[in-house]
Chains A and B, each alone.
Chain A
Amino acid sequence: MGGSVNNAGQKTFFEKLQTRKAQRYIIIVTFMFVPLLLLLVFTYIPFIKMVQFSFYDMKYIGAKTFVGIRNYIDVFKRPDMFGSLFVSVYYMGGAVLQLALALFFATMMVFKVKGESIFKAAMFFPYLICGIAVGFIFKFFYARGYVLDTILQLFGISAENCPLWLQDQKINNFSLAATSVWRYTGQNMVLFLGAMMSVDTDLYEAASLDGANKWHQFRYIIMPSIKSIIVLNLVLSISGSLSAFEPPYVITNGQMGTGTYFVIMNRIAHENQRVGLACAMAVVLLVIIIICTVAQQLFFKYVFNDGSEDESKAAVQAKKKAAKAAKKGGA
Chain B
Amino acid sequence: MKSKKAKKLLSLTLATTMVLSMTGCGNSGSSNDSSGSSTASEVPTIDQIKLGEDYQDLKADIKILTDRTDIVDTTYKGYAESFMKEYPNIKVTYEAITDYAESVTLRLTNGDWGDICFIPDTVEKSEFSNYFIPFGDYSTLNGIYNFVTSKTYDNKVYGIPNGGTAGGIAYNKKVWKKAGIKDMPKTPDEFIEDLKLIDEKTDAIPLYTNFAAGWTMGAWNDYVGVASNADPDYKNNKLLHQKDPFTKNDENSGPYAVFYTLYEAVKQKLVEEDPASSDWESSKAKINNGEIATMVLGSWCVNQFKDAGDHPDDIGYMPFPITVKGTQAAASGGQYAFAINNKASTDNQIAAMVYVKWLLEESPIYDDEGSIPALKGKELPDSLSEFKDTELLEDNAPAQGEESLYDDIRNTAEVLSGDYPVGEVLEAALYGNKSLDDLMAEWNKKWTSAQESNGAEITG
Contact = CB atoms under 8 A, between A and B. Distances in A.
Interface of A: 57, 59, 62, 139, 142-144, 146, 164-167, 169, 172, 252-257, 267-268, 271-274
Interface of B: 211-212, 214, 273-277, 279, 404, 407, 411-412, 414, 417-420, 423, 427, 430-431, 453
Nearest to B420: A267
Given A164-B274, A255-B427, A139 B212 contact: yes
A272 B277 contact: no
Given A272-B411, A274-B411, A274-B412, A166 B277 contact: yes
B411 A253 contact: no
A284 B431 CA distance: 31
Contact of B411 (A167, A172, A273): A273
B274 A144 contact: yes
Given A253-B212, A256-B427, A167 B420 contact: no
13 contacts: A57-B453, A59-B411, A142-B277, A164-B273, A164-B277, A167-B277, A169-B431, A252-B276, A253-B419, A255-B423, A256-B430, A267-B420, A272-B411
Q: Name A's interface SS.
A: loop
Contact of A143 (B279, B430, B453): B279
A267 B418 contact: yes
A11 B274 CA distance: 83
Contacts of B214: 253
Given A59-B411, A274-B411, A274-B412, 6 more contacts: A57-B453, A164-B276, A253-B212, A256-B427, A271-B420, A272-B412
B212 A271 contact: no
A253 B214 CA distance: 7
B404 to A, nearest CB: 8
A172 B420 contact: no
A223 B412 CA distance: 52
Contact of B273 (A144, A172, A273): A144
B423 to A, nearest CB: 5
A41 B407 CA distance: 32
Contacts of B430: 167, 256
Most chain A Cβ neighbours within 10 Å, of B274, B279, B411, B418: B274
A167 B430 CA distance: 9
A274 B412 CA distance: 7
A111 B258 CA distance: 64
A217 to B, nearest CB: 46
A171 to B, nearest CB: 12
Contacts of A142: 277
Contacts of B276: 164, 166-167, 172, 252, 255-256
B282 to A, nearest CB: 10
A272 B418 contact: yes
Contact of B274 (A143, A271, A274): A143
Contacts of A57: 453
Nearest to B407: A273
A146 B277 CA distance: 10
A193 B335 CA distance: 59
B449 to A, nearest CB: 11
Contacts of A165: 277
Nearest to B415: A272
Contacts of B431: 169
A107 B411 CA distance: 52
Contacts of A139: 212, 277
A274 to B, nearest CB: 6
A279 B412 CA distance: 15
Contacts of B412: 272, 274
Given A166-B274, A169-B431, A271 B417 contact: yes
B423 A253 contact: yes
A309 B176 CA distance: 74
A167 B423 contact: no
Nearest to A164: B274
Contacts of B212: 139, 252-253
B84 to A, nearest CB: 45
A199 B423 CA distance: 54
Nearest to A59: B411
Contacts of A172: 276
A165 B273 CA distance: 12
A167 B274 contact: yes
B431 to A, nearest CB: 7
B157 to A, nearest CB: 27
Shortest beta-carbon contacts, A-B, top 3: A143-B277, A166-B276, A144-B274
Nearest to B276: A166
A263 to B, nearest CB: 10
A178 B109 CA distance: 50
A165 B277 CA distance: 9
Nearest to A255: B423
Nearest to B453: A57
Nearest to A67: B453
A284 B420 CA distance: 23
B277 A271 contact: no
A18 to B, nearest CB: 19
B193 to A, nearest CB: 26
B265 to A, nearest CB: 16
Contacts of A164: 273-274, 276-277
A172 B427 CA distance: 14
Most chain B Cβ neighbours within 10 Å, of A59, A255, A268: A255
A26 B20 CA distance: 37
Nearest to A65: B453
Contact of B418 (A146, A166, A256, A271): A271
Contacts of B423: 253, 255-256
A331 B178 CA distance: 104
B402 to A, nearest CB: 14
Most chain B Cβ neighbours within 10 Å, of A59, A62, A169, A272: A272
A272 B427 CA distance: 20
Most chain A Cβ neighbours within 10 Å, of B276, B411, B414: B276
